[in-house]
Amino acid sequence: MSAHRLGLLLLALVGVSLIAGCGNRREPDHLAFNMGDGLDMTKDGKLEVSFQIALPSGIGGGDGTWGGGGAAHETYELTSAKGINIYDAIQHAQKELSRELFPGHREVILIGQPLAEHGIAHLLDEFVRNPRSELRSKLLVVKDAEAKDVLAQKAIFEPFMSMGLRRQQDILRLRHVYFHDFMSDTLTEGLDPYVPAIGLTAASKPYYYGSAVFNKAMGLKTVGFLDANETAYANWITGKQAGYECSLPIGGGNGDNISVTFNSLRKSIRTRKAQDRIMVDLHLSGIGAIVENNSTLNPTRAPDRRTIEQAINRKTKREIETLIAKVQREYRADIFGFGEAYHRQHPLQWKKVSGKWNDRFPELRVAVQVELTCERNSGLVTSPIDVN
């Protein structure tokens, strides 16, 4: 028994000493929660990383006794540091901070346009290798501005911009824009990544611009941007978007117009080889509801509905063809995943083209077929409102 007691006592002593000393135990108040990273390239070509750090005492919780009554507190701190790579920059930033930088709750990773156009192939490793790093951060490219300019802005609702940007992505019904999705797209054969892009308005307010196209063959650098509408089409083709809104003038030239919102978007990509060329049959479909109708067309009548659907299909098809042609010719990056589809559907033939897909992609013949239907009516109104 005494041996038992001695053992217990020793165990307790070891326990107490370890509690007091503690190896990798870190109290939450010893951490600097890094909510957003901004990656920029300085004018002299160096990497600059900005960290948006949440200030817990400013964001609150509890009755705000800490710091005393009523006054608005700072909710975040923006720290920037230069370095030859990400880790180096973190080490430099850490020198200014009394708490350990903790990337486990990082909401967004922003990349400034200059850096994005320079190429980010050499910046990915740290994000994946660091076990504390949050791979569900959303990756965004900042168009015509630096990442830290965006992070420095005050968010309207959220305590800081990182959280606001993340929320916005959710509102836009965008899917698969996490950092690990970007990594997965990057590492998939026959697919080039494109990520959401934001711009700054004249009043320096960030807004959703569209997306930035990365070309893997050119060192994972941004080769161009797609606007919001083009991005919606691209997302539709890649299955990254749940819904799509479409507004268009309809009927005569008397200002008639109609807006339709589409849900349950579907796509199918069939690839085949015809004589030495790879053909792609792209079939896009979706079911929509009319959300605004300022025309004389009555969608409850079949002929009118067909008129609306045809107009929408025609417009969508034309725009998608334009988009595909632009991406093929200008960006030469297969963001639509045609290569991946070819890889899956013709694994043996893929081997012949696998190494040089970025050269084959512009030569693809893509046949687009759009089949949108307005089956649902939205709201109480079914027929057009007749003012007269």
Partner 1 sequence: MDWTKLAHKKLHKPAALRQAEAEREDAPLANDLAANRRAFEHAFRDCSDLVFRELAIENHTKLLLIYIDGMIDVELITVNVLSPLIYKGLPQGLGAIDNIAQMCEQQLFSVLQMRKSSNLGELVTGILKGNLAILADGEATACLAGVKQVATRGIEESTSEPALRGPKESFTENLRTNTVLLRAKFATTRLKIEEMTVGSLTRTDVVIAYLDGIVDPDLLEEVRARVARIQVEGVLDSGYIEEAIEDTHYSPFPQMMSSERPDVVAAGLMEGKVAIIADGTPFALVVPMTFWSGLQAPDDYYERFLYVALNRSIRYFFAAFSVLLPSFYIALTNFHQELIPGKLMITIAALRERAPFPTVIEVLMMEIMFEGLREAGLRLPKPIGPLVSVVGALVIGEAAVSAGIVSSPIVIVVSAAGIASFIIPRYRFGIPLRMLRFPLLVLSGMFGLFGLTTGVVAILIHLVQLRPFGMPYLSPLAPAAGQWLKDWWIRWPQRLTKRSEPEPENRGGEA
Residues within the interface to partner 1 (CB under 8 A): 4, 12, 15-16, 18-19, 22, 24-29, 31, 33, 35, 54, 56-57, 59-62, 65-66, 102, 104-105, 107, 132, 134, 163
**Whole-angstrom distance, CA of residue 144 vs CA of residue 199:** 7
Provide the minimum distance between the beta carbon of 111 and partner 1 in the complex, in angstroms, as a whole number: 21
335-338 contact pairs (CB < 8 A, 24+): 335/191, 335/192, 335/193, 335/194, 335/213, 335/234, 335/238, 336/234, 336/237, 336/238, 336/269, 337/188, 337/190, 337/191, 337/237, 337/238, 337/269, 338/190, 338/269, 338/271, 338/280, 338/364, 338/366
Shortest separation between residue 98's beta carbon and partner 1, angstroms: 13
For residue 388, the minimal CB distance to partner 1 (Å) is 54
Please provide the DSSP assignment of 111-142 as one string: EEHHHHHH--GGGSHHHHH-TTS-TTPEEEEE
Shortest Å, Cβ 66 to partner 1: 5
DSSP string of 68-110, one letter each residue = -SSPPPP-EEEEEEEESSHHHHHHHHHTT-SSEEEGGG--EEE
Q: How far is the CB of 183 from partner 1 (least distance, A)?
A: 18
Instruction: Tell the smallest beta-carbon distance from residue 86 to partner 1 (Å).
Output: 18
Q: Is 289 exposed, middle or buried (0-12, 13-18, 19+ CB in 10 A)?
A: middle
The CA radius of gyration of the chain, in Å to the nearest whole number, is 26
Closest separation in Å from C-beta 221 to partner 1: 30
Q: Least Å distance between CB 83 and partner 1?
A: 23
Instruction: Count Cα atoms within 13 angstroms, Cβ side, for 71.
Output: 6
Contact (CB, 8 A) for 198 and 208? yes
Give min distance, CB of 90 to partner 1, in A: 16
Q: Cβ closer to partner 1: 66 or 207?
A: 66
Shortest gap between Cβ of 123 and partner 1 (angstroms)? 21
Which residue, 65 or 254, has its beta carbon nearer to partner 1?
65
**Of 27 and 276, CB closest to partner 1:** 27
Backbone angles phi, psi at 190, to 5 degrees: 75, 30
Residue number, 61 or 355, with CB nearest to partner 1: 61
Distance between CA atoms of residues 308 and 230, nearest Å: 21
At 49 the three-state DSSP class reads strand
**Distance between CA atoms of 90 and 92, rounded to whole angstroms?**
5
β-strand 277-294 against 365-377: which pairing, if any?
parallel
Q: Which residues contact 189 (CB under 8 A, 6 or more apart)?
A: 339, 340, 343, 350, 354, 357
Q: What share of the chain is helix, strand, coil (3-state, %, to 5)?
A: 35, 30, 30
